Chains A and B, each alone.
Chain A
Amino acid sequence: KAGVTQTPRYLIKTRGQQVTLSCSPISGHRSVSWYQQTPGQGLQFLFEYFSETQRNKGNFPGRFSGRQFSNSRSEMNVSTLELGDSALYLCASSLGGEAGNTIYFGEGSWLTVV
């Protein structure tokens, strides 16, 4: 069974640009969530989608957005990139987001903003 797949794995962007990251969840999983990991702030929750609807959102500015498609695949977008957006962006999927369900993480997309 294929795991959570994230693309691209590594990318470098310039300040002010925008970036789109993609995530393919495990087959059958309808909940997809996104996290940002930085050395200073650790792992922080960005948002969660279920059946194409954003159900929950972390404490991030509006420059961070996402969407989920009918096949459960998800994308997240960061506009007007800042140096502080350099981070590992992790996608995770689960069956339905319930607290007892296991959440599976992808290997992440490493974003460097220069």
Chain B
Amino acid sequence: DAKTTQPNSMESNEEEPVHLPCNHSTISGTDYIHWYRQLPSQGPEYVIHGLTSNVNNRMASLAIAEDRKSSTLILHRATLRDAAVYYCILRDWGKSGGGADGLTFGKGTHLIIQP
């Protein structure tokens, strides 16, 4: 799986937007971009995923660069409950279906929310 690069940590204030960057310069045309987050003492939680176009859901928005070499997870109004480690993961749909690879987690970004 292609690698991703994320900042080790970021800090934001409560009720402000948060932009979490992810670089994936070696992304292939068949890689989906997935974001997961892990709250303390819990399993990872799905946040959002996309392939080429920007995506929105009730949790967040995913902005994908035109060349797909980077993406940004946007939390529109951070709350204390959003404090977690956020993982940006690439998943190759070209490999799946007959032998799905597991998710390859990096170190992620530790998001700190200040009240």
The range of chain A's interface size is 20 to 34
Say whether, besides A42-B105, A42-B107, A43-B105, A99 and B100 are in contact (CB < 8 Å): yes
How far is the CB of B44 from the nearest CB of chain A, in Å? 5
- Pairwise interchain contact B100-A48, C-beta atoms closer than 8 A: yes
How far is the CB of B21 from the nearest CB of chain A, in Å? 20
Residues of chain B within 8 A (CB-CB) of A103 are 46, 103
- Pairwise interchain contact A99-B93, C-beta atoms closer than 8 A: yes
- Pairwise interchain contact B107-A33, C-beta atoms closer than 8 A: no
- Pairwise interchain contact A90-B44, C-beta atoms closer than 8 A: yes
- Pairwise interchain contact A45-B104, C-beta atoms closer than 8 A: yes
Q: Which of A48-107 contact B (CB under 8 A)?
A: 48, 50, 55-56, 58, 90, 92, 96-100, 102-107
- Pairwise interchain contact B99-A99, C-beta atoms closer than 8 A: no
Q: B51 an interface residue at 8 Å Cβ cutoff?
A: yes
Say whether, besides A43-B105, A104-B46, A107-B43, A50 and B51 are in contact (CB < 8 Å): no
How far is the CB of A59 from the nearest CB of chain B, in Å? 11
Q: A108 an interface residue at 8 Å Cβ cutoff?
A: yes
- Pairwise interchain contact B102-A100, C-beta atoms closer than 8 A: no
**Set B87, B96, B106: member contacting A99, Cβ < 8 A:** B96
Give the distance in Å from the alpha carbon of A48 to the alpha carbon of B49 in the complex: 20
How far is the CB of A74 from the nearest CB of chain B, in Å? 14
Residues of A that sit less than 8 Å from B by CB:
4, 31, 33, 35, 42-48, 50, 55-56, 58, 90, 92, 96-100, 102-108
Residues of B that sit less than 8 Å from A by CB:
30-32, 42-46, 49, 51, 87, 91-107
- What are the 8 closest A-B residue pairs judged by CB atoms, nearest first? A45-B102, A97-B100, A105-B43, A99-B93, A43-B105, A99-B91, A98-B96, A99-B96
